[in-house]
Amino acid sequence: MDSRERGMISNQDLRNPIVRVVYTVMVAALAGLTVTMIYPFLTTIFNAFKSKRDIFTFPPKLLPQEWVWTNFTEGWEFISFGKYFLNTMYIFGGTMFFSILFIGMASFSLAHLSIPYRKGFTLFFMCTLLIPGSTYMIPNYLNLKELGLINTYWALWLPAAANAFWILLLKNFFDELNKELFEAARIDGASELRCFLQLAIPLSMPIVSTLFIFGFTYVWNEWFWTGILLSDADKYPIATAVYKYVISGENNSIGVNVQFGVLTIVMLPPLLVFILLQKQIIRGVNLSGVKG
């Protein structure tokens, strides 16, 4: 008997005509789904290299007839990427700091501290995952307004520290850490805060790295909520600036081809982050015990 690990369908299974037909249909469906997902990306990228007249030619063509590279330079100068990129990184840094600090302490408490009604608190946090985000958007805005945080980055940082999904990931990871290690640290006089900062966080770098990737993707792509909270254009992140000045039509001084150039520039960083670090994402989620 072959000791090698076999897949879900072996060559022997494919000898069955029914299995072969079902397998062919599955592959065709996955191929069609892949094409429908990749086509918008390819259209955006190739349109960024077209002239304005080339974009509106009929019938449309995927590849440009003439490669125009100036669309990227014009788009870069128009949108002031440097300023908005720094704003985005500033929002990302504060979001990750408060999220890892507060969500991490909450998850560590649920996993390693003997607090009353620990299972009830965990169930409460998990139940919030069933609530659509749009239902508490208005209450969140009113609360932030009463606190005087509108048009400040605090309005983005503080709510980010209440992410139930991140609590789920971190708690499941902390549950797998050796509890005897923390008991030994407590015997040596370490406080719970020191156990969290000097033991739990360094041992949890795989899942923390995954959360950094999730946080970067979210902050980079978020435009709606930040557009509501921030009224000062100088504080916009890059996604909100692109929506306001490129997509929404508030400024029509650039051509469609230059708009596609801007969208391509904005699209590439999170795409590259996902492609380069997808193994880290899968590894971190698997180590946390959450299987998709």
Over residues 125-136, mean pLDDT: 83
Checking if the pLDDT of 35 tops 50, the result is yes
Checking if the pLDDT of 47 tops 80, the result is yes
Percentage of the chain modeled with pLDDT above 90: 18
pLDDT at 91: 94
pLDDT at 249: 64
Token digits for 3?
A: 């000791």
Which domains can be identified in the chain, with CATH numbers?
13-69 (no CATH), 73-287 (1.10.3720.10)
Q: How far apart are the first and last CA of the chain?
A: 32
Rounded Cα distance between 26 and 22, Å, is 6
Region class of 222: left (phi > 0), else alpha (psi between -120 and 50), else beta: beta
Q: What's the pLDDT band for 18 if we cut at 50, 70, 90?
A: confident
pLDDT at 81: 85
* pLDDT tens digits along 245-274: 888 765 567 788 888 888 888 988 888 887
Checking if the pLDDT of 284 tops 80, the result is no
Q: What's the pLDDT band for 208 if we cut at 50, 70, 90?
A: confident
Over residues 125-142, mean pLDDT: 85
> Does the global pTM surpass 0.75?
yes
Checking if the pLDDT of 200 tops 50, the result is yes
Rounded Cα distance between 268 and 265, Å, is 6
pLDDT at 127: 86
Token digits for 115?
A: 């607090």
CA-based R_g, the chain, Å: 24
* pLDDT tens digits along 74-89: 888 888 888 899 999 9
pLDDT at 82: 85
Whole-number average pLDDT of the chain: 83
Q: What's the pLDDT band for 286 if we cut at 50, 70, 90?
A: low
CA atoms within 13 A on the CB side of 252: 1
- Chain CA centroid to CA 289, Å: 19
Checking if the pLDDT of 121 tops 90, the result is no
Rounded Cα distance between 182 and 219, Å, is 34
Answer with the residue of higher pLDDT: 98 or 285: 98
Over residues 49-75, mean pLDDT: 84
